[in-house]
Amino acid sequence: MPIKTVLTTTINRVSILDEHGHFDAELGNGLIPDADLVRLYEHMCSCRQLDEVAFKLQRSGRMGTYPQNMGQEAASLGAAYVLNRDDWLVTCYRENCGLFWRGVPVESILLHWMGDERGNAMSREHFATPIAVPIGTQMLHATGLAWASKYRGEKRIACTFFGDGATSEGDFHEAMNFAANLDIPVVFCCQNNGWAISVPGKIQCSAPTVAQRATAYGMDTIQCDGNDLFAVVYCFRRAVEIARSTGRPSFIEAVTYRLGDHTTADDARRYRDQAEVDAWRGRDPIIRIRKHLVEKSLWSDAKEQELLARVEREVAAAVERAETIPAPPRTDFFDSMYAEIPPDLLLQRTTMQTHGIGQDPSQIDGAVIELPAKSNH
């Protein structure tokens, strides 16, 4: 039998505004209007300010832990900018920029990392899911949300974010396989920052790109400079168009870098070379956009100082709102879990005690508790 080629593939990499200030006018002109670019830059600066303040909150014992977003702001912001307001944004924990652009209050993210469950109560108007800390689980959620929209005949799509380490999880492959085989409109975005906590990318994936993992599932796939806001917007517009016009999923590998530790519980100096970090600091997405704005006479030192003063005030106000929010009723733990509370948990809810239950469940410390009658079903 003759040997035949059954598949040849090419994966393109998109870069429009590089770290040296080179701007590809053919691809970039008109992609982001000037007024929007200024707003996007200001938004990234606000998120960077939050990172600095949140780090100090953790170090001073006012917050449990925090994963800084600095260096990775462009990917989620570019997606939120392109997506419709009623498309699902399904994040992990380094997508503050996209969530805030959607309108999620800054204090919600602070409350999450302070251990207050109310930080996860995303309003439906934002079409955003709570932060997902378990690695990879959110990809399945995004696929399910997009599948539900397709089943209802809606045009709503879903976009989900995850790191390079998550592509080694079974959840990743299950979500990709399910979305591809059932034609579900999901945009999968891998923020490849080169490190799965302390594990380098070359151990996570032996292939030249993470993007080619999507080829195995028959998805359209592309790689972009994840620190280039223009390239991110370009790739997401393409992916969103595929999802809306064909109902098919697609994959974006945004090559980026986290400039800080994995979280405030980590010390990246133990496994990363400082020279590598310094090289990526020169590719900072915020610095890149600021230089471009200055070159276009859209920004100045005076505007920068005014912006910094404003974002300091805004972040400080968000911190105050998070730290002064009234404590939730203790009964919320029960009320938010069940539509109809089982008798044994109703007893705990009423007495706020668990000791003694099992000896005489209807009587705690001399107080007789009337339990609801058992249902026949």
Kindly list the catalytic residues: 258, 262, 271
- Reported for 199-204, long-range contacts at CB under 8 A and 24+ positions apart, including other chains, are 199/165, 201/164, 204/164, 204/165, 204/167, 204/168
Helix (H) or strand (E) holding 254: strand 250-255
Residues of the chain by 3-state class (helix, strand, coil), percent to 5? 50, 10, 40
**DSSP 3-state of 181:** helix
First to last CA, the chain: 66
State whether the Cα torsion 21-187-218-257 is positive or negative: positive
SS (H, E, C) 73-115: HHHHHHHHHHCCCCCEEECCCCCHHHHHHHCCCHHHHHHHHCC
Q: What is the separation of C-alpha 3 from the centre of its chain, rounded to a whole number of angstroms?
A: 45
State whether the Cα torsion 40-44-46-47 is positive or negative: positive
Give me the residue label for tokens 């195995």.
Answer: 216
Q: For residue 298, how many other CB atoms are within 10 A of its CB?
A: 15
Round to whole Å and give the CA distance between 261 and 263: 5
Please name which of 110, 14, 137, 13 lies closest in space to residue 316, comparing C-alpha atoms. Answer: 110
Sheet holding 186-192: strands in order across? 13-14, 220-225, 250-255, 186-192, 158-163, 88-90
Helix (H) or strand (E) holding 49: helix 34-59
Q: For residue 27, how many other CB atoms are within 10 A of its CB?
A: 15
Round to whole Å and give the CA distance between 354 and 366: 14
Q: Which two tokens stand for residue 265?
A: 């519980």
